[in-house]
Chains A and B, each alone.
Chain A
Amino acid sequence: MVQDSLRVLLGFFIAALLQVLIFDNINLFGFSCPAVYLFFIISYRFDSSQFTLILLGFLLGFVIDIFQNTSGANTIATLLISFIRPMVIRFSFGVIPDSNTLLSMKSRMGNQAVYIGLMILIHQFALQSIAYFDVTHITLILRNSLVNTALTFILLLATLNLTKKKN
């Protein structure tokens, strides 16, 4: 139990540090920056308390906002995906997933990709919408959301394959 909590805390700090120190410096096409810290939310155990995840999601977004010097968009977007995660899991894997963690999951890659892609897309759309906060900028919001989602998706899928427990 204590070991699990420590592992979660360690994951939280690693995700925040990697994002702030490395991935925030990637500036593809002049506007795109991958949100690799989402790996923490996505890979959080499915059977763990959602209450804790909502709190951690809020804190993670808050830390990223502080370091990116942004207006609170990360806080709200990360909080949102932490809250709706059970619905995305049900949509992607059905009522009962075959494993309680993405890292040891045997489900078809397609289901996993839908889960990861949806989580990133919702997060990015919320993030960009809050950042621009103006419906007249809808094309910019959509462009940034789609490009960031694609970039983050590739990086997260690569990270998942690297960290996945081998049988």
Chain B
Amino acid sequence: MQWILNIIIQKRNLLLFLFLLGIGIVFSSYRSSYHQTKLQRFGIVISGGVFKSINNSKSYLSLTESNQSLLAENSALRQELLQYKQTENSISKSTLNPELSNYLVRSASVVKNSYAKARNILIIDKGTSDGILKDMSVVGPNGIIGIVKQTSDHFSSVISILYQDFRINAKIQGKGAFGSLSWEGRDPTRMVLSDVSIINTISVGDTIETGGMSAYFPKGIPIGTIIDLETPTSGGYYNIEVALLNNLTDLEHVYIIENKKRSEFIDLQKKSEDGTR
């Protein structure tokens, strides 16, 4: 014990310097969003590298489970492909979804995942050198995961849908009812769908999917199912609780979707907004 005290006394200047330097860095990132962004990017590189090596060793232990889930996903996709081919044979090509070619899908592995904070971030092992850019959408095998927030050369951070203040445009599958999906910060398997007018007929068990009204997510990606529905005594909107299809607490592989026409969409949106001012 004595020697620890001796070291602290001997190195007190260095310890004080390092302590105050830490405060200075926090102060710097607090005062400037530029420095915050730069420090965060540095953090992605460091934590990405560390967690990737941890993840590599971990993934060996769950190879069987990973293979099974990939097989299941493959078979579902094959099924979809077969149905697609049938449609192609029976009807003309023009009736097929033309939006499909607007999107480019890349796969990535999750190296760090958080789901217990108020604002959760994932880190994936693909970055700008793999064509990943800010604001691209990230989906999992069963639905949406989040949006790319920042990128370094080989890693990217992703804002999880489990992120307070983050709202996603969503609709009820097969119906025209749109709403806004958000996370209340409690249960990582549950989200809340708000702003759905009570003039729409909806019921427990209905599937929620992306609405496609923003430039982030393509239309029609499943999100979850309604598990609780309250019709308010006052006010014209439902209180809807949604169970997510994706298990965000256990993510290994994700897909990043690039919307090739995103900039066109944003330009048009901006022009329309400027025009209405």
Contacts and interface: CB of A to CB of B under 8 A. Distances in A.
Given A71-B28, A72-B31, A75-B28, A133 B38 contact: yes
B24 A79 contact: yes
Residue among A61, A65, A72, A83 facing the most chain B CB atoms (10 A cut-off) = A72
Contacts of B29: 72
Nearest to B32: A71
Contact of B27 (A50, A55, A75, A83): A75
A134 interface: yes
B103 interface: no
A50 B13 contact: yes
Contacts of B35: 71-72, 130, 133
B144 to A, nearest CB: 34
A55 B12 CA distance: 12
Contacts of A83: 13-14, 17
B82 interface: no
Contacts of A61: 24
Interface string B1-38: 00000000000111011001101110111111011001
Given A72-B24, A72-B25, A79-B24, A54 B34 contact: no
Given A71-B31, A72-B32, A54 B20 contact: yes
Contacts of A130: 28, 35
Interface band, chain B: 10 to 19
A51 B10 CA distance: 11
A134 B38 CA distance: 9
Scoring A54, A62, A80, A134 by chain B CB atoms within 10 A of each residue's CB, the highest score goes to A54
Interface residues of A, number: 20
Interface in A114-143: 130, 133-134
Interface in A57-103: 58, 61-62, 65, 70-73, 75-76, 79-80, 83
A75 B32 CA distance: 14
B28 A54 contact: no
Interface in A24-76: 50-51, 54-55, 58, 61-62, 65, 70-73, 75-76
A143 B207 CA distance: 61
A130 B12 CA distance: 25
A76 B21 contact: yes
B28 A62 contact: no
Contacts of A72: 24-25, 27-32, 35
Contacts of B20: 54-55, 58, 79
Contacts of A70: 31
Contacts of A79: 17, 20-21, 24
Contacts of A80: 21
Interface of A: 50-51, 54-55, 58, 61-62, 65, 70-73, 75-76, 79-80, 83, 130, 133-134
Closest 5 A/B residue pairs (Cβ): A72-B28, A71-B32, A76-B24, A83-B17, A72-B27
